Amino acid sequence: MASTLERIAPFKNESIKTFADAADAAAMQAALAEVKGDFGRFYPLIVDGERVETEKRIRSLNPAAPSEVVGLVASASKGDAEKAIAAAERAFEGWKHTSADARADVLFKAAALMRERRFKYDALLVYEVGKSWPEADADVAEAIDFLEFYAREMLRYAQPQPVTPIDGERNEMIYVPLGVGVIIPPWNFAAAIMAGMAAAAIVAGNTVVLKPSSDAAVVAAWFVDLMHEAGLPKGVLNFVPGAGGEIGDLIVGHPKIRFVSFTGSKEVGLHVNDLAAKPQKGQRWIKRVVAEMGGKDAIVVAADADLDAAVEGVAVSAFGFQGQKCSACSRAIVEAPVYDAFLEKLKARVAKIAVGDPSDRSTHMGPVVNAKALESIARYVEIGSREGRLLFGGKRLESDGYFLEPTVIADVAADAVIAQEEIFGPVLAVIKAKNFDDALAIANNTEFGLTGSVYTTDEKKIERARDEFFVGNLYFNRKSTGAMVGAHPFGGFNMSGTDSKAGGRDYLLLYLQAKSISRKV
């Protein structure tokens, strides 16, 4: 009899909508109106399947119009966090014995529900984090992909694993879950990364305490409800948004927590790793940390490159979702013979980027996520303007929203501040390289190692970069963003994290432990 994995269709990535289809555009407009009509709704904590109200609340604002409250979300106290961990610990005793088929089925059902409500999720991301229509849809499509992919992966890991036969013994190796975990996702891929991290841990048989970013807490609340609607038992997924200073250290350092999965900045990631490494009284394990952190990603443009293609790749990678991607191109490293021509073409291309309210279909670039981010990015623009030549942009738009022009700073030294520190905004440093050797040396000259691209038609340069460009995700003659689940397992080296390879065949191993069993016959 065929296994469940053999009976289901092979994984296929969800198509991303361009909204060129009139029906899609109309559905998106309707979803935007519907979601806006629900602004200001309250979202409670969910602990052990119960909705818990709190006095303290998080105001999730529309970054394009900060006077608009997308939602009011309960903010957990230390006591609430303790209760959530206790609930997850109780739920683990049943969930760990639930079959892989049943666990995977919850993810399949959740994917189907999200697919049905796709435009509403798209609209929420437009409002809550300022994504353009296509960027929002790509985020939701990736969330669906993670649900579908990890469900199939758990079924694969549940199958008999190959072991070397030994005469007189019956041997097997099985994978068992870890226990209670903390999931701390970012705001920039508010649906995809949040759903992917939580779903991977859950389908592997673990139970979860989910602490979303305060800038994207509403979409996380939607997802938790969706998972329960898909059949997830109470206590398996507990929703505890809250201030990091209030509950962050408590949940990461708690002795009952077996693993921590974090995506965010280098500074916070290192703190999480440090705290998790210190055993607490009553702790019986070494905590596992899965960390996806920052990047200072480069696109190398060789002298033989197709300049038009390179300019397009750099512009899309640098300014898609306002540069607020850990994979965004923040350094364009261009060989000297084509440097001036590249700058001329890039300036013309960036000038075409439409900045405005992302609820408008024609907008390519919306606001940055909040006032703190805007201030930080503006400081880097000031620094960069002194370190190099401001080629384009640099100004804040006259608006109540957090809008900044796409900014290009040329003639930047490889060791300049804006060439070394993660800005996480629409600021691109352009660096002149003497030759391809120099370009590769500059590309590797940061503490990060997440994504990189090379534009060249020379096969020898491709082979060299393949061996020497030290990043977790390397692309040739294409943009540095847009990793697809299954096709481009995602995760970086050095200070970019633990190279966890989200959306790859190794990822679920981070939430499992192998048990070898031998019986004499």
Which residue bears the tokens 């940390």? Answer: 289
Kindly give, in sequence order, each residue whose CB lies less than 8 Å from that of residue 270, ignoring residues fewer than 6 positions away: 293
Report CA Rg, the chain.
23
**DSSP character at residue 229:** H
Catalytic residue (one of 326, 335, 387, 405)? 326
3-state secondary structure of 506: coil
3-state secondary structure of 406: coil
Catalytic residue (one of 292, 335, 405, 422)? 292
**DSSP character at residue 343:** H
Q: How far apart are CA 202 and CA 205, in angstroms?
A: 5
Residues 258-279 as b/e (b if ≥16 CB within 10 A, e otherwise) read: bbbbbbbebebbebbbebbeee
Which of these, 257, 207, 226, 238, lies nearest to 74 by C-alpha position? 238
Asked if 143 and 191 touch (Cβ cutoff 8 Å), the reply is: yes
Annotation says 326 is catalytic? yes
Tokens of 160: 């008999």
Which of these, 340, 359, 369, 329, lies nearest to 454 by C-alpha position? 329
Tokens of 61: 């604002």
H or E element at residue 58? strand 57-62
Annotation says 329 is catalytic? no
Catalytic sites, residue numbers: 292, 326
